[in-house]
Structure 1
Amino acid sequence: MVPAVPYADPQGDPFLRTRFALPARPATFLRRQRLVQHLDQALGTPLALVNGPAGAGKTLLAADWAAGLRQPVAWLTVEAGDRRPGVFWAYVLQALRACGASASDVVGAPADASRVDRKLLAALAAELNERDRPVVLVLDEYDRMTDPEVTKQLEFVLHHAGRGLHLVLVTRTEPLLPLHRYRAAGELTEIRAAELAFTPEEAVALLELHGLSLPVPAASALVDRTRGWAAGLRLSALAALESADPELYLKEFDADRSTVADFLLAEVLRGQPEETQGLLLRVSVLERFSPELANALTLRTDAEPILAGLHRDNAFVEYLGHSSYQLHPLFREILRAHLRVRLPGLEPELHRRAARWLRRSGFLPETLAHGAAAGDWDFAAGALVDDLAIGQLFTGLRSDDLTQLFSHMGPEARSPATDVVRAARDLSRHDLDHGLARLRLAEEHLTDDAPDLAAAQLSCALLEALAARLTGCPPRAERAAVAADDLRQEVPAHLLDKHPELTALLLTHLGSARLWAGRFEDARAALTTAAAAPGGASTVLPREDALEHLALLDYLDGWLGRAERKALAAVAEMERVGLPQPSGSGIGQLVLAAVAVDRHELGRAQALLDETARLPAGTHDPVPAAGRALATARLLLVRGKARAAVDAAAPDVSAVVASPWATSREALVTAAAHLAEGRPDAAAEVLQGVPVDQPGCAVEAAAIQLAAGRTGAAIDLLDGIRAGSRAGPAVTVRAALVRAQAAEGAGDTATARRLVAHALLDARRERLRRPFLDAGAWLRPLLATAPLHELAAGWLTPGSPRHGERPRPEALPPPLVAVELSGRERDVLERLARMMSTEEVAADLYVSVNTVKTHLKSVYRKLAVNRRGDAVRRARDLRLL
């Protein structure tokens, strides 16, 4: 019995336990020992291939062999939906858990149906490689896997799992793996169509299990005519049983293989009572079905005994357990062809009946698929909206599937729900013009007498909040949030519990809009709640988005360490569930880049900005656009490219409402550029219109005023910062240095030294070097004095640069490191720098390759990198090498 699997796949659906169960062998199953012995060779090779046509007996052969093994066997029946890497690997991991070869938390689980992170695959391969008892993984019906990327990933895991994994592929077609290499290396066991074909002796034994007796010469002729095809022989036996003279029937029947299939399936179908034929034809539109669903399609009530009898008689109806059945795939295909000929025009109605039954039973994905197959778009869209599942278009879990499904919806569908779905689809692609127009249309059609009004209106509130975020209109976001709060009281609680992503998305959009408006505390409240949202994989993307926004808030408030930790936490969450980095808007990477500038780690800052440049353009989200402009402009200023900094400082988006902090930061860059180019009056003039409500902006403006010779204006700006603000060290250090410079200029050296001492203490904890490097020549004599020199030693340059001189990073002493590397991690890192391979590092340190891989993963995590070269460069920047 398959143990309970209380997990969900990347789309949020419960795993289908029947896909992990070894298929049951019918009473007429014939064990062919020669094939079992051949399969035993698979235990000596990493890869086995069972390849043959439909109905060749591949699955039952593999299941019978696997049932007799003494080692763990993970069985997975591949389905068409597994073509998406995230879904496929989620099911593989669950198959391993189901057989007791549980994947640890280190491996994680994919959260995005369309992709899987290579780190997850590496972790899985490493874990398998360490097993004492290898696991056999059987992938049945692997011909359904047509994604070459998944095949490459499978080859990667198989290669690096070593002796810990034996892979068996059961397939109709040639897999995309490089079989010639495995064959040449003696690492492949193959069972193909010729070997799967029944011998005359085996055919005799099979017919005897069906109650038929046939001499070997007659069986040999039947084998010749059917080419030993297992399904053909079984269908021949079933048809012969209905004949007055079974032996004569088997002797005289003659046709090629495809004609045999069509003819015999037609004979089997015609041999059934009329009600059975009608049931089989109608359920052929379903992948799997229960007796209740079959009754809904036939408009009868007798499906359960009919299906049980068909299964008992081996009439190509397979019992999956849990009151669920499916037709043999080939039988199903031919039945559908018969359905279209015998009952033309009925297929759409059958899909419509299936969709309505599935909707009542709570199977949303199947409901949508059958509603679309029926062309009933009003029904399909209504099911999505009424289930409160509109947020799935934005969470990355089912978004690609839903977008593809509803892409076939034509203009004839004109219900409020179809308008909502169209608006959501457009907004998910950041098509604001079409999305807003369709949202307006949906809201106009949602009148008070519309059914299920609350769910549709709450869906519209989510879209309104997203539109407000993308257009930079905070008042609109607030109105959407108020409406959503009211509507939540009218929506059934179980729907809200079922779809936590909707609330998480709403709060994230609201928090982003508030951040854009400069309402930092209100933004923090909404984003903190979103970041703590329940729901596992269904809320992982809004949680990441909220964390990255919180990181930006911390950065703007001057808390570099907090900002870095939140940004890295978002990165780690994405890596844990197998999403690529950077994902989404890339705000986390932008925050890390800005932090790196303040720490004078310019190479790292540039690398991070280059990563975000690979994100899709034209997302129209003003917050990440402003963050990218800010980080890029600051880096350009530090590198002495004032004009380029001014050009980069303006966010490349339009917004309904101007953001006070984005506007201020843009003006500050312009003023700093004027100052760098020797125009202090122009710099001061720019500052006249700069809002300085935020402490960070006020302090930067004060620094520019002081550098422009306006000491009084600088001190007034600092004095105007409200008491009790949340300003962090990046703000307070700059403020202290401005006051120190003013005191030094006034001849009060004692006060200047005290203020610089406080600044050094605060900056040391955050590894904040940029304010000191920007301070100017006045600071050098002070840092040369004994107390201040000791505070600066070890992390800041011994002397400040000359005016206009940029310090070279390689001339700086080692900075403090937030996370210390262990001695063994340093050993591994040093060998990486010498271009040694993993195997060479293992040999040099007298440890296993897996131990080296474990240390490497830890080094990557601590240094916030993904590749070896990046780790070495980062370590050199931090003076760890």
Structure 2
Amino acid sequence: MNEHTQLHAVVSSSGRAPCVGRVVARPRLDATLGTLVAGSSHLMTIWSAAGSGKTTLLGQWARLLTDGGFSVVMISGESLERVPDILSGLAASDRDRPGQTDASRSIVMVDDIHLLAGRAAKAAVTALLNVLPSVAGVIIAGRYQPVGTHAPLNTAGGLAVLRTADLAFTRVELNALTECHSVCLDDVVLDVLLRRTEGWAIAVALAVPWLKESADARAAVLGFDGDHRAVADYLVSEVLESLSVDERFVLATTAIRSDVPLELASYVSGLPNAGELLHEICQRNSLMIEDSEGYHYHPVLLSFLQADARRKNVHDFAAAHTKAFTWFYAREDGAHALEEALASGRGHNIQSALDRFGLELMLAGETDLIDRAMAALPTSAAPLALVATQLLFEAPFFADSTRATHLFEEALAHDTAGTPTQEPWLAVALALHCLVGTTHHSYEARLRRLRSADIVALRRKSLALDLLAEVAEAWCIGRVGAPADALLRLREVGISADRAGFGWLSLMAASCAAPLATLSGRWELAAAIEDQVIVQLSAHPRTQPGRVRSSATIISAVRSYRRCEAMQTEELDALIAADAHRLTPGARVPAIAARTGARLDSEANPRPALETMDRLMRDHGVHYPQLFAVVALRLVSLHLTLDGRAEAQERAADVYALLGDDSVESETVRLALALPTRRGDAAEESLLAALHNTARSWHAGAPIGAWILLAHAAELRGSHSEADIRLTHAVRLAQRFDVLQPFAARGGEGATLLTVRSGRFGPLDSFAAQVQAAVHSLLPAQPEQSSPGVPLTQREHDILNELPVHQSVAEIARKQTLSVNTVKTHMRSIYQKLGVTDRSDAVSTAQILGLL
């Protein structure tokens, strides 16, 4: 093994502890050292900003190499001026002792070479390159590369380079640092700290012990930035002090945002040579990066400069952001214009940005930015743009109908009969009003207004407004009896919206298209629309704004539920929590419904989920009928099992009112309530008629669930061949629509029927087995004492509720106004249905099953 290979082995197997003292081990950087000496060239440079940890890293490497039997020659400080002499002595020592390996087992490290100027720096680099063939490796480090050294280093060949970004702490390294300091920070705090410091070593080193002393680390981390006293002192002494007066001026005046184009820097600073000055600052690695787009300010440096500017002259600070707002406004850059308007703190800037760009930003899904702007405006001010924007936040579902009614009244008050309007925001309100029609007449009237000459003229001037109006028109057309035309138009809107960058509008079009496809029985199209949205968003997940992501999360969750797949519950929970702060408007109810619907099948005690779903359907069902249609049969069946027939019938009445008396879902619920009595014959015939006459259903699983229940009805009366036929219908539809969820309803009744008939489905056998496996993976493990499936009567429920209380049978009989023998008869029936033999076991089993 030669020296270089041996050194690479030493580094690769160092096995260093995560930290020594308060210094964190950084294996990924150690690997760079090993790669250096294992290659054909043995030269490395480290150019990193002050405070990046390069000197600490060199010290760690020196100890590592010494432990591996290598000699380290460290040159820094006053010794820098003598680099040629020191290296000459090293070469002379090698010549005087032929056959020895002192020099060949040496690593030369030169730190802070930026302190050398001109010829001295060039002479030092030349000497280092000359000694390179006789040593194991040379490492040159500094804050920036001195003038005169670029050519010799770049032509040396095989050069390995580390820069500021390479030395930045990763999440793993930051976590190790907190452990070294015995600080417990959760993932949220770690992520925020990384974002606010970009892993700059000195910043995280100062932040961690400071956070350790904080009572609330989550709150404290939001207050840690470049204005922290210790960080500010370091910035002034190590970064800013070396700059010229002109450089400090241009840096202070252009520090208005993290990324500043060259033209904006010149405009805000008023200096024609602003670019030249900023270029020099970047060249010296002063926590700034220059690229083809302009200049990037490190977040720690930016926060310090902004705080300092605000302290010195708050009016000048606001004026600088106003200049930036004007610059972005003139270039039609709505998002950046609104950000700068907010930073300026001037209401007229914010209002101007909202008037001009609010619709485009909303349709792109930038709801968090719009929400901040609305919160910054005085509550007394309610211009039409603000009212229409508030309506956009609620679209397309308008879950808070009372609030939506008031907002529409306020907005539509600007629509004076017989007077053409030139206000685009009124056209926005009129378009949104089309989405809340209730009758054929209301849809036609609103459609006519949207197509009137003055609104058409406004639509021609704005692509965003025209596409929004197209969605509204398509919805009206679909609701008055032309769903095929409506679906075609919505598809075209979705394509145009995607091309224009209006991600949320594209989802809005899909949200309207899916129910229209569903209500017209085009289940494959409805599923394809949802799948297309998921695919589009998964291709670019990080670039999608909050509202777009939240909609995609809900669509994905519903799709997983439909397929009996495990949901991404963490994403739904985060969405529910965020909605409490209006970060994802309109997402809370669908997210909770999706989360709760899955629990109805998967939890041994479904009572909590049942109560949550009851409350959601009662309060929000009218706005989300399709969501609750999916669980309608489950809700009624669970109430029948847990609470008795009277409670189940009350919930069934809610279903009939919400989904329509003649829908497939309602007919299925009727049959579930009628079985196994003789009344089931009429309910069965009614459901069969609904299926054969293609009655309206709200979701693809409705006819599947209906055929499963019909198969169960045939099984109960001994018509096994009829049950086979009906179940085959259900399996065929499930495969066609990619919907497995109905087989999990009513305790997995459909999956049980499949198991009994395994091998009887011909070409569908494989799919039937897939359904069984998916359903059984979701259903909870049944306790040994499980219900035989026959629900308790209402009187048995009443008696069961008395059992946990310490009282005699006579006392129960007196409270229930029954004879003792009647109570005993009911108790025996309860024991039989629960599969138990005594009162104590009956109470325990009933609690497990959610009956108590």
User: What is the TM-score of this pair, normalised by structure 2?
Assistant: 0.48
Q: Looking at secondary structure, tell me which structure has more helix per residue.
A: 2
Question: Max radius of gyration: which structure?
Answer: 2
Does 1 or 2 have the higher relative contact order (CA < 8 Å, sep 6+)?
A: 1
User: What is the TM-score of this pair, normalised by structure 1?
Assistant: 0.46
